[in-house]
Structure 1
Amino acid sequence: MKSYRRTIQIVIFLAVVLLGGYAIGNAVFSDNGSGGLPKIGSKPPDFALLGMDGKTHRLSDYKGKPLIINFWGTFCPGCVYETPDLQSKYAAQDGKQFEIVGINLGEDDLTISNFVQNYKVSYDILKDEDRTVEREYGLRSYPTTFFINPDGKIEDIFIGPMQQKDLDARLSRLLKT
């Protein structure tokens, strides 16, 4: 009886290890829309999100112009760190050469408004209240920034906080296409 019980325990253990390994491998290495970031050269997932201006903004609203999509939250030190550089670049060109869209990751209006006022953010801030767009873009780390060329394709993806030189290099490439 003891030998039989031991065999069953080993079989159950192996089944759990195999199923767990499969689930983890599938989540990490999956290549479907929900399993990872959209790829460079592909079109980004569409969205329709409410902005802090009370209007609904769609990805198609920015068609034909270079676009930076920055996923951020006030809870993210890296997001806070890079905001002044994004704002500075945006203000310097006054929305004439490129657009920036900041997509907030599920925070309340008061928190977002206070942040926007404190950092004098003038580019569009959209609210991903249920974090659906975050999932569609496959985010795993914050901030994550997508650089979209005028043809509507992803030119580059930057994961983590950008320093000024990172932003300058990507923006320079984006504006040349």
Structure 2
Amino acid sequence: MGKYRKVVQIVILLAVLVVGGYAIGNTIFAAKDGGIPKIGEQPPDFTLVDLQGNTHHLSDYKGKAVVINFWGSFCPPCVKEMPEFELQYEKWKDAGLEILAINLSEDTLTVNNFVRRFDLTYPILRDVNRKTEHKYGLESYPTTFFVLPDGTVQDVFVGGMSEKDIDSRVVKLLQ
């Protein structure tokens, strides 16, 4: 085995380089599911379940002004803005505003405790397999989409929002 040892080592090294190169290349050059929806485009439809077990399809909200917020309790800007969304929801829900907060695959206990802690009343949807997150091409959190009643994206905001940020966008959304 001694005379083949160097050959075996080279073959193993080459195999590691090929597999590693493939994995790195696949990660770097992999196409997302269409990338983040842009202003004027229709966001991808989704089917997600809320904390009460009700199914929500984005297409069910056609004709309404919708805010889609991707969030997680592990994300400090998300934690800060969720009560701000609640204030805006209470202010504008009678004018037709819908807020769909999509949690990024956290366990049920964590999400339920978070919702109770901040007394959130708008729908909290679960993206347990992260398919919706990938469809939307998300790269950072929170990310919020403001969708007009005609079903097109009016605005996209990446990062935490203040109540004032949300309010000014909702006003435009409801005009």
Q: Please give the range of the TM-score, normalised by the shorter of the 2 chains.
A: 0.7 to 0.9
Amino acid paired to 1:93:
W
Aligned counterpart, 1:12: none
Shift of 1:95: 4.7
Deviation digits for residues 92-132 of structure 1 (CA, Å, limit 9, x no counterpart): 23354210000000011111111101101000010000100
Aligned counterpart, 1:67: 66
Amino acid paired to 1:74:
S
Amino acid paired to 2:174:
L
Deviation digits for residues 72-106 of structure 1 (CA, Å, limit 9, x no counterpart): 01000010010111000101233542100000000
The aligned runs of 1:96-135 (5 Å cut-off) are 96-135=95-134
Normalized against structure 1, the TM-score is what? 0.81
The aligned runs of 1:1-177 (5 Å cut-off) are 24=28, 26=29, 34=33, 36-176=35-175
Q: Decide whether aligned partners of structure 1 residues 38 and 141 sit closer, same or farther in structure 2, where only a CA change above 3 A counts.
A: same
CA distance in 1, matches of 2:163, 2:169: 10
What's the RMSD between the two structures over aligned residues? 2.1
Partner SS, residue 57 of structure 1: strand
Give 5+ residue unaligned stretches, structure 2: 1-19
Q: Percent identity?
A: 51
Deviates more, 1:34-43 or 1:109-118: 34-43
Deviation digits for residues 29-83 of structure 1 (CA, Å, limit 9, x no counterpart): x6xx525201110000010011112111100121101000000010000100101
Moved over 4 A (4+): 20-23
Normalized against structure 2, the TM-score is what? 0.81
Shift of 1:165: 2.1
CA distance in 2, matches of 1:91, 1:22: 45
